[in-house]
Structure formats: structure tokens, C-alpha cells
Amino acid sequence: MRLNFLTKSIFLAAPLALASCVSLQSGEAINSPGNYGADSQPLGSREDDAFQDAASRDSMKRGRFDSKTTVDQAIEKAINAGSQVVEDARRLITQRKQWPAAHRTLEAAIQDGIIKYDNVRLANAVALYQSSPLAASVTLFQRLVGSGRPVARQMGWQIAAAMPSRALSFAMDQELGRAITENDEATVLIPQMAVAVQANGMKSAYTLVRQGLMTTGQEAFALSMAQLDASRASNDFLDYLALASAEELRQLTQNSVNVYTCLIALKHLQAHPAPLSHAHAEHLVYYAVSRNNGLADLGQMALESYLPKERSQVAIMMSRMPQWVQIAYVESVRRKKAPAITLLLGELKKISSSTDVVEEVDEVLR
């Protein structure tokens, strides 16, 4: 049995040894450890050389430049290849301190690219342009946002967001004013515009950004509103949250609102509570009892932000809501033993007109 085992081991090892020999280059000597030939290298050294050769080939594929590469050639390669080549071009231009010339070249290339480039090459050109330490061209912004090409408009607002300046703020204000005057808001109500308005601190554009939130539900508009005017945003976020009905919030999915935008709004309301006198303040309770756990948790936290000072008002608001909502809320906080919640339930028990709600509260507080 032992002989058979050894025989099998030898047969299994033979192919591996043969494969090891075949992998060597033709004419290469096989040396024993510690006894290398005069012209041979240790295996580790050969592996290092192979790695360096592979890294060199990979570097060439990525489009790294040498001392003979001109700035114009680097820009052209970056626009065509994108990705790491854009970063290589940025480094080359920075090292040679040739940004003024490169800035002008890229500006001209982007203006021509509005018509000539596909979406990828236009994005590559803009990405390299945004690396420039110089101020963005107002003319370039105007031509991009004024073009009939949606991607070009997005790139124009993207440049304004990445390279904010007073001159660009003025140009942005003019473009937004034009859109309102010509009833052309649809062309500017895009996420890139909201980011640009925020980056340039344009509080005067808050109303248009709010319109973007109510129209599209995109998260970028909510984030911009929160930065531009935190107090005003709290009231407007309640208006947005109210777009989802109580029945819809009892479902696992919501179609009337963007769930991610709702999460942003509810987090904001924790730090900046809206007045309980707001027409849609009670919607926070609907979110607190939502079947979407993320919305329910944040809705509960938003309600808790009122409890230290306005516990009685929250209880009164709840007591006016349908019985099923009150019971659902009591059930949702059953496992929470926080003093603030306990005191809220005690207040609700005193003023609720529903016997079932009172009994539910009693059971929870036992």
C-alpha cells in the first residue's frame, strides 16, 4: 500500500515538474539554489525585472508622456483616452508651468467640441479644463449652457460648480433669469445647476432650486437648499415630504417622492425643525409609522427633536390624527424606553378621544 502511494505521488508530481521546465526560455540553464551560472540571475531578480517590464508597458498603455511630448499632444491624448491620461496630462502641464497656454487650448477645444466631440471626449476635455488653476471662462460657460445639446449644458454647469467665481455667478444669474423670462425653466432644472448654485453661494436662486426639488425630486436640489437657507429649507422639505400620501407611506415602495431625497430632508429636519404650525407638520408622524424602515427611523428622530420643549403640542397634533395612525405610532415605539417617548405617550393618553389608543398606551407603559 505504501509503495502504491509513493508511486502515485511521483506520477502526480511529474507533470508539475515538466510544466516548470517548459515555462523556462529556450536555452535557459536550470541552476540549483546557491550555484547560479555566471550569466544567470536568481528567480526573485528575474521576477522583479518582469514586473518592471510589465509596469513599463502598462504605463505606456495609459498614455504617460515623455520629455518630447508637447502640451498640445498631451491635451489631444487626454481628450481621446480619458481616465488616467487626463491626470497624466494635468501633471505634465503643471510641471512645465504651462497652464495659461493649456487653458486657452482647452477652452477652444471645448467650444469646438460642443459640435465635434462625442459625449465621452467632451467630458474628458472638461475634466482636464477643471484642473486648471485659472478662472473659468464666462464665454465658455455661456456657450455650453446656451447650446441645444443637453450634455453640453450639463458640462457648463459642472464647470461653474468646480470653478466658482464672482464673474461666473453673474453669468449664472443671467442664465437663470433668461430661463424664467422665456418660460424655459426645464433647461436649467438639472442637478448640475443645483450644485453650481450651491458652490457659488447664490441665495438669490433658492426659489428656482426649490422648484427643481418639487419638479424632479433630485437629491442635489435638496442638498443645495439645505446649504443656501437651512431655515427656509425646513419648511419647504415638509411640503416635499407631503407629496407622499399616508396610504403610500404604508407601502414598501414610494412613487410620489424620491426616497433618498426624503432621507436628506428628514435628517435636515432633525437639526433644523420646522414650526409645528406648518400645514404639513403632521406628515412627520406618517413617516414615523412608514413600512420603509429607513424613513420610519428618521421620521421618528425628526419627531423626537420637538419633544424636549414642545411635547404637549406634538401630543395634541397626534390626537387629531386618525385612530389607526395613533395606534401605529404607539406600536412603533413599544420597544423604546426613552423618557421623552414615555412622557409623550403619557400626554397622548390624556387627550386622545380613542379608547383603543388609551388602552394601547396603557399596555405599552406597563
Residue 322 lies in a domain: no
Q: Is the domain of 156 the same as that of 220?
A: yes
Residue 328 lies in a domain: no
Region 270-274: mean pLDDT is 97
Q: Is the domain of 95 the same as that of 168?
A: no
Residue 146 lies in a domain: yes
Q: Is the domain of 154 the same as that of 224?
A: yes
Alpha-carbon distance of 104 to 98, in angstroms, equals 10
- In the chain, the number of structural domains is 2
Q: Is the domain of 100 the same as that of 160?
A: no
> Angle, nearest 10°, between helix axes 99-116 and 71-81?
40
Q: Angle CA(16)–CA(22)–CA(26) in degrees, nearest 5?
A: 160
Of 228, 244, 268, which marks where a domain is finished?
A: 228
pLDDT for 1 beyond 80: no
Per residue in 118-147, pLDDT tens?
A: 999 999 999 999 999 999 999 999 999 999
Residue 339 lies in a domain: no
The pLDDT-based confidence of 252 (bands split at 50, 70, 90) is confident
Q: Is the domain of 120 the same as that of 142?
A: no
Q: Is the domain of 166 the same as that of 88?
A: no
What amino acid occupies position 275?
P
pLDDT for 51 beyond 90: no
Q: Is the domain of 84 the same as that of 164?
A: no
pLDDT for 264 beyond 90: yes
Of 134, 149, 177, which marks where a domain is finished?
A: 134
Least confident residue range of 42-46, 247-251, 269-273: 42-46
Residue 289 lies in a domain: no
Least confident residue range of 21-25, 237-241, 259-263, 309-313: 21-25
> How would you label 184-204 residue by residue, b for 16+ Cβ within 10 Å and e otherwise?
eeebbbbbbbbbbbbbbebee
Of 199, 228, 257, which marks where a domain is finished?
A: 228
Prediction pTM value: 0.80
Q: Is the domain of 141 the same as that of 102?
A: no
Which position has the higher pLDDT, 57 or 335? Answer: 335
**Mean pLDDT across the chain:** 86
Region 185-203: mean pLDDT is 97
pLDDT for 201 beyond 60: yes
Q: Is the domain of 224 the same as that of 182?
A: yes
Closest to 109 (Cα-Cα) out of 87, 133, 88, 132: 132
The pLDDT-based confidence of 12 (bands split at 50, 70, 90) is very low
Which position has the higher pLDDT, 68 or 26? Answer: 68
CA dihedral 108, 154, 141, 107 (to 10 degrees): -20
In angstroms, the Cα distances linking 317 to 125, 266, 280, 326, 346 are 55, 18, 11, 10, 14
Per residue in 69-106, pLDDT tens?
A: 999 999 999 999 998 999 999 999 999 999 999 999 99
Residue 110 lies in a domain: yes
Q: Is the domain of 86 the same as that of 163?
A: no
Per residue in 153-189, pLDDT tens?
A: 999 999 999 999 999 999 999 999 999 999 999 999 9
**What per-residue confidence (pLDDT) applies to 338?**
86
Domain range for 176: 135-228
Residue 175 lies in a domain: yes
Q: Is the domain of 80 the same as that of 129?
A: yes
